[in-house]
Structure 1
Amino acid sequence: MATHLRFLALTVTTATAETTYRFDQPATVISGPSGAGKSSLLMLLKHAIGGTAVLTPAVRDHVHSVLASVVVGEQHMILKRTISGDRSDRVDILDPETMALQHTLGTRAEEGQRSLSDVLLDALCFPREKIPTTRNGKATTLNLTFTHLFRYVYLEARELDRQVVGHLDNHFKKQRKVLFELMFGLTTSTVMELERQVNQLTTDLRKAEAEEENVGAFLTATDPRTDDELRTELSGLRDMLQNAETTLRTLRTEISETSAADAVLRGDLRAAVQAATAATQEMLAARELVEARESVVAQVELDLRRLERSATAIDQLSPFHFVVCPRCAQRLDARTVPEDHCAVCLQADPAEEDVDPAAVREARSALEQQLQDARELMQADAEVLRRARDRSSDAEFLATNLRRQLDAQTRDVVAPRFDAISDASARVAALNGGIDAVLHLRDSWARVRAIAQAAKDITALRKAANAELKVRKAESDARRSLVTDLSSRFTTTLRELNLPWEQSAVIDPKTYLPVVDNTPFESLQASGGALQAGVNIAYHLALLECGLTHPDILVPSILLIDSPRKALGSNRDDQERGRRIYSRFKALTDAYGQRLQLIIADNDTAPLPDDAFSTIELDYTHPMVPGVAHPGPNHTTRTEDGYQA
């Protein structure tokens, strides 16, 4: 059944007076002339429950606060909110028995804080959801709030013949549809969570694919060898290293056997020579890699500058129509220029995608990301080169000192073998450097493979989520018969109101909006907007009754309508339609009693002599704002001309 929402009373407090307006009956008519405060009273109800209300200067200047007694679901709440000032964005929740302060909550959601909307939605047992959406190519969400839901039950005078539940508001489009689907069970929390997962997985997949492409392109530009070629080269380098190490060990054995007396010195020298040679080879390998990185960085910077110059030139010069040559000042208008060609250089105009700002921004973003990756790799390699130079310098200095000592002792016997050892050590170091370089490149290619595998995993997860989402949506689709029932009730209500429509009236199963004679609401034409207003009222009455009839539809059981007969018109037929609308109001209150609430602001009292309608009568002697004298009919301000609070 419909979620229970009911206003019991509203107390309006000024500096000098206080008035309580009660809503005891299922239907209450707030009547009075223009400017007496009917619409403002409805707006103050909206203000009390945390909404953004349009208030007249009289309300803003004189009303200090409002206090609403509300039944939300099974809970009786007292909500107090000031009109202006530092605390106007806060609502106090008071104890209904003692009027003691229980909580003070914000009207807007704050990170990590519970808002008034959260409390009201929980009390209604209405799902608190975040709508999955995409912004700037990234997955994000839109919050659903109680004030969004309230738009389904409050027909403001300025929107009665203009839009249905704010359907012309592009910022509210997603919330409106999802709220309807949640009310009718056409979507569920599980479905929305799956949609959020699919959105996030799609964003992650795009990011992984872009990263794989960028890193792969950088590696290809730095070194053309493929991963398979590097694996083959690595195997050959390891075989050559094994042979070189065997030769080096043999030479060292011969040195050891030649002069046992100089074993310690030779050992120190061998170690020093080996370290110096390895450090030199490491330095050379690091230098070559840095030079290659610098070349790539320079090329990407050149491409980026070329793109910037091209974009700037297009942006600065495209608006100008040259009649003389900018170089030699000769006139150009005498020449015959083919269509779609430049009047200056006679070349064909560039394709739209080449000058499209979005395409230029996308190209710039890709180049900037590639430049950032290249610079990070270059900086890392430059640091490796610096450390290699330091080690090489230290090792060479030590080896030179040891060699001088050994030469002085064994100039004729040991020195020649040390030369051979030096060459062998250099060979080993060079091979080790080559192996390290190949391993470094293979690690980079392994990263590309890991990114590609991550993209495959994300794709599989998204496929599974989409499959489950399809199943869940199919389960929800079984409830679409409820939309058909709503459409039938809408058609019946329109016929009862005797509105000037011809063939058909349905609820669009995709937009959930009324369509009359195959014409959407905003395209309907009638004198003074009477048809639009009648269709809008019929739509909301059908929605309310549908919620009251079905036990599992979460439509709030309340409807606030501002100035229905004013929107319908004033001729005899219009007055008859107004009477029919009130007859429909009465039929609903007779059928459902206290299960629903209707609050109608109108210029006149109900056109039916029946006690089903309680009345709040306002006039210039007794206006809505207590304790403030009304200046009279010549000084009225409509709510539509007020300010938002």
Structure 2
Amino acid sequence: MAKRLRLRALTITTETTEKTYRFAKDLTVITGSVSTGKSSLLMLIKYAFGGSAVLTPAVREHVQHVTLEVQLNQNLLRLRRNVTGDRSKVQILELGSDVPERELPVKPSPGEESASRFLLKELDIPVHRVPKSRSRRSTDFVPIGFSDVFGYCYLQAKTIDSSATGHHDPGRDSKRQTMFEILLNIIDPEIFQLKIERNAVAEEIRTQERSIDAIRNFLHVNGYADVDQLRAERWDTQEALRGSERRLDEMRTGVEALIRRDREHRNELSRVLSEAARAREVLAVARDTVRAREATLAQRRLDLAHSDKAALAAGLLSPFEFVTCPRCLQSLAGRETDNGQCLLCQQPEPQLLHESDDEQRSLLRAQITETETLLVEEQKALREAEGMASITELNAAEAQRRYDELTREAVSPRVQAIAEASTAVESLRQHLRAIDQRMATWHKLGESETTVVDLIRRRRRLDNDIKQLERDSPARQERLDEISQVFAAEVRRIGVNVNGRPTISPDKYLPKIGDSDLDTLQASGGGSTTAINVAFSLALFNYSIAHADVLLPSLLVIDSPRKGIGRTEQADQELATSVYGRLKTVAQALGGIGQLIIADNDAELGDEEDVTLIRLTEDDSAVPGVPNTGVGTRVKVEDLAEPEDE
């Protein structure tokens, strides 16, 4: 038995009210005139699952959220998704209440579980990564989603007369074909893993080949020799390097003696220069000492002269008593002064020279004599320091000359020769490294070529394994034959007038009549294409119910089959009646194991027993309180472009 996917109820909530549509029976018919919301109702079911859907302005402006009660295998779930506000999540509500148990993103971030993956898990449908393109081998693989599964459960009004499963979309057709193989269980899932591995190997081959081309171009542009020539060049370079290193060692050994002698002369020069420096310091100290001593002697001689002059003046003038001023010759008689003051200047009379003054002058003379003696000795020491400084300067100059001559004639040329030899050795080493790099490039080229050979063998083995699984799997061809037989029976039961045997094409998994594919049938016009598409969907629906290993859910939603067939011709009217008759027969045989939902303008099955009838009118449209849920008098939901998968 197929995976159980059964709709229970859809609740549409606006700002002021809400309305619940229940799908209680195996067959639900949604009927109503244009713009009453039949297609909008079906689109909101798709939208509630987290898929992309065409939402008319009336829906976007008035509907706040939709709540879908659905049974997935044995689990009953309530899904809610906002129409206004945040549309990026599908809420899982607690049964019996509006409390969200969890929120699932429509477009998940890395590591998040999406609403799509959650629904697939509930249906026990494994999430495979499938090739993005079937026409070319690529490393691009994409995961399947719930919308890929639902695409086989929902015949939209827009494509019912042109495509069974939306095969006209080039971006989705590859995945559509792969989904047919997965859902109808006609392919070993191991093939997908083998294809992923095969395409990854193919991409690695392309990467390696690009690397090989780049290496070859590099070798060609730079004129690199082949490996044998590089080996010979490396041998010659290595021999030259050994000879240069040996000569360099000999030169370094010979110069060591010169370096030792140079060190001795340098030490001697340093000693002599130090002596000269010390002699200059001694000379400077001696000069400073002599200058200081001469200054002291001059000062003491000056002090003695002042003392002698004072004593002489006192001795000469003290006996005289002035009666007239020696300057203006005025008489000083009768001039009164205090005792002890001079009549002439009225200053205190000076003390008469005492014996202590003679002692002071005697002390100064002794000090002068002593200073003169010291000065003589210090001048002698200065002359000796000047002589010693001259000698050490001469010795330093001679030592510097000898060292310069030794360096110029012996050490410097040897050092220069060693530097040149070292440069030659390093140059040979660099050349050797360059040769090694070239050889490494050749080795890398060889390794890459070996890797490519191994990868090509591996890719061939994987190709063979894939072809073997596809060719030798009896289930695939047997199942395609069985589905073709069921499809042919549905075409016959509906009464479609065809010219050829109805089959399922084994390459694209689309309806085929004789040698005519679906696009050719569509070009021929008429309502037969719609009937064939309905027959194809019914065939998959019935086949999935009858086979337990088929993963296709037991739900089929068909939007406006009469619109696709037409009403003008009598044959079209009869074909539409036949299609509805077949839908009635299928529904009566379901017995609760499957579900059909039909939307159309006329309720041809509305009066039947065991049918849930949802009748929409302008006063009671799909969106409660909105008389016109369409987009205009002549524009319908199916006329709008469907957005990308959300």
Report the TM-score, using the length of structure 2 for normalisation: 0.71
C-alpha distance in 2, partners of 1:182/1:524?
27
C-alpha distance in 1, partners of 2:210/2:225?
22
1:191 equivalent in structure 2:
191
Aligned residue pairs total 507
Superposed, 1:14-93 pairs within 5 Å as: 14-85=14-85, 87-93=86-92
1:626 equivalent in structure 2:
624
Q: 1:633 to 1:521 in 2, by over 3 A?
A: closer
C-alpha distance in 1, partners of 2:172/2:202?
24
- SS class of match (1:77): strand
The one of 533, 538, 542 aligned to 1:541: 538
- SS class of match (1:152): coil
> Is this contact kept in 2: 1:57–1:642, CA < 8 A?
no
C-alpha distance in 2, partners of 1:201/1:108?
30
C-alpha distance in 1, partners of 2:99/2:67?
13
| Partner deviation per Cα, 1:492-521 (whole Å, 9 max, x = no partner) | 111111112133211111111111132111
Q: 1:574 to 1:235 in 2, by over 3 A?
A: same
- SS class of match (1:594): coil
C-alpha distance in 2, partners of 1:554/1:187?
12
Report the CA distance between 1:455 and its aligned residue: 3.0
1:104 equivalent in structure 2:
103
2:582 equivalent in structure 1:
584
1:116 equivalent in structure 2:
115
- Give, as a single letter, the amino acid of the residue that structure 2 aligns with 1:99: D
| Partner deviation per Cα, 1:564-603 (whole Å, 9 max, x = no partner) | 1232233443333333323322332333311100000122
- Give, as a single letter, the amino acid of the residue that structure 1 aligns with 2:455: I
2:611 equivalent in structure 1:
613
Q: 1:170 to 1:179 in 2, by over 3 A?
A: same
In the alignment, is residue 594 of structure 1 matched against residue 588 of structure 2?
no
| Partner deviation per Cα, 1:470-492 (whole Å, 9 max, x = no partner) | 34334545332111111001111
- Give, as a single letter, the amino acid of the residue that structure 2 aligns with 1:435: L
- Give, as a single letter, the amino acid of the residue that structure 2 aligns with 1:178: T
* Segment of structure 1 superposing worse, 171-180 or 607-616: 607-616
C-alpha distance in 2, partners of 1:637/1:192?
43
C-alpha distance in 2, partners of 1:37/1:556?
25
C-alpha distance in 2, partners of 1:521/1:609?
34
In the alignment, is residue 530 of structure 1 matched against residue 558 of structure 2?
no
C-alpha distance in 1, partners of 2:265/2:136?
69
C-alpha distance in 2, partners of 1:637/1:245?
93
> Is this contact kept in 2: 1:205–1:455, CA < 8 A?
yes
C-alpha distance in 1, partners of 2:65/2:259?
105
> Is this contact kept in 2: 1:528–1:569, CA < 8 A?
no
> Is this contact kept in 2: 1:582–1:608, CA < 8 A?
no
C-alpha distance in 1, partners of 2:421/2:630?
110
Report the CA distance between 1:261 and its aligned residue: 4.0
1:437 equivalent in structure 2:
434
C-alpha distance in 2, partners of 1:176/1:3?
18
Q: 1:252 to 1:3 in 2, by over 3 A?
A: same
> Is this contact kept in 2: 1:26–1:598, CA < 8 A?
yes
1:469 equivalent in structure 2:
466
C-alpha distance in 1, partners of 2:255/2:191?
79
Report the CA distance between 1:136 and its aligned residue: 11
- Unaligned runs of 5+ residues in structure 1 are 267-403
Q: 1:115 to 1:409 in 2, by over 3 A?
A: same
Q: 1:418 to 1:49 in 2, by over 3 A?
A: closer
Percent of matched pairs sharing the same residue: 33
C-alpha distance in 2, partners of 1:147/1:116?
11
| Partner deviation per Cα, 1:405-443 (whole Å, 9 max, x = no partner) | 987337667777667766655554443343233223223
The one of 495, 516, 519 aligned to 1:519: 516
Report the CA distance between 1:124 and its aligned residue: 1.1
In the alignment, is residue 153 of structure 1 matched against residue 157 of structure 2?
no
* Segment of structure 1 superposing worse, 404-413 or 175-184: 404-413
- SS class of match (2:549): coil
Q: 1:265 to 1:418 in 2, by over 3 A?
A: farther
Report the CA distance between 1:187 and its aligned residue: 2.8
> Is this contact kept in 2: 1:56–1:641, CA < 8 A?
no
C-alpha distance in 1, partners of 2:464/2:591?
45
C-alpha distance in 1, partners of 2:75/2:122?
7
| Partner deviation per Cα, 1:262-303 (whole Å, 9 max, x = no partner) | 58999xxxxxxxxxxxxxxxxxxxxxxxxxxxxxxxxxxxxx
C-alpha distance in 2, partners of 1:71/1:158?
27
Q: 1:568 to 1:138 in 2, by over 3 A?
A: closer
- SS class of match (2:534): helix
Report the CA distance between 1:61 and its aligned residue: 2.4
Superposed, 1:197-596 pairs within 5 Å as: 197-255=197-255, 261-262=261-262, 408-409=405-406, 425=422, 427-474=424-471, 476=473, 478-524=475-521, 529-570=526-567, 571-596=569-594
Q: 1:90 to 1:224 in 2, by over 3 A?
A: same
> Is this contact kept in 2: 1:180–1:512, CA < 8 A?
yes
1:127 equivalent in structure 2:
126
C-alpha distance in 1, partners of 2:201/2:265?
65
Q: 1:232 to 1:25 in 2, by over 3 A?
A: same
* Segment of structure 1 superposing worse, 566-575 or 628-637: 628-637
| Partner deviation per Cα, 1:102-136 (whole Å, 9 max, x = no partner) | 12222234333221111111111112122224699
C-alpha distance in 1, partners of 2:613/2:77?
24
Q: 1:89 to 1:631 in 2, by over 3 A?
A: closer
- SS class of match (1:545): helix
1:345 equivalent in structure 2:
none
1:94 equivalent in structure 2:
93
| Partner deviation per Cα, 1:285-323 (whole Å, 9 max, x = no partner) | xxxxxxxxxxxxxxxxxxxxxxxxxxxxxxxxxxxxxxx
Q: 1:456 to 1:526 in 2, by over 3 A?
A: closer
1:173 equivalent in structure 2:
173
Q: 1:466 to 1:595 in 2, by over 3 A?
A: same
- Give, as a single letter, the amino acid of the residue that structure 2 aligns with 1:605: A
C-alpha distance in 2, partners of 1:96/1:558?
22
C-alpha distance in 1, partners of 2:439/2:612?
83
C-alpha distance in 2, partners of 1:426/1:52?
74
> Is this contact kept in 1: 2:132–2:140, CA < 8 A?
yes
- Give, as a single letter, the amino acid of the residue that structure 2 aligns with 1:117: S
> Is this contact kept in 2: 1:109–1:115, CA < 8 A?
yes
- SS class of match (1:554): coil
Q: 1:524 to 1:406 in 2, by over 3 A?
A: farther
Q: 1:252 to 1:640 in 2, by over 3 A?
A: closer
C-alpha distance in 2, partners of 1:632/1:409?
111
- SS class of match (2:139): strand
* Segment of structure 1 superposing worse, 540-549 or 604-613: 604-613
Q: 1:59 to 1:241 in 2, by over 3 A?
A: closer
Report the CA distance between 1:42 and its aligned residue: 1.2
Q: Which has the larger radius of gyration?
A: 2
- Give, as a single letter, the amino acid of the residue that structure 2 aligns with 1:156: Q
- SS class of match (2:592): helix
C-alpha distance in 2, partners of 1:616/1:422?
102
Q: 1:607 to 1:405 in 2, by over 3 A?
A: farther
C-alpha distance in 2, partners of 1:202/1:428?
48
Q: 1:636 to 1:68 in 2, by over 3 A?
A: farther
C-alpha distance in 1, partners of 2:543/2:583?
14
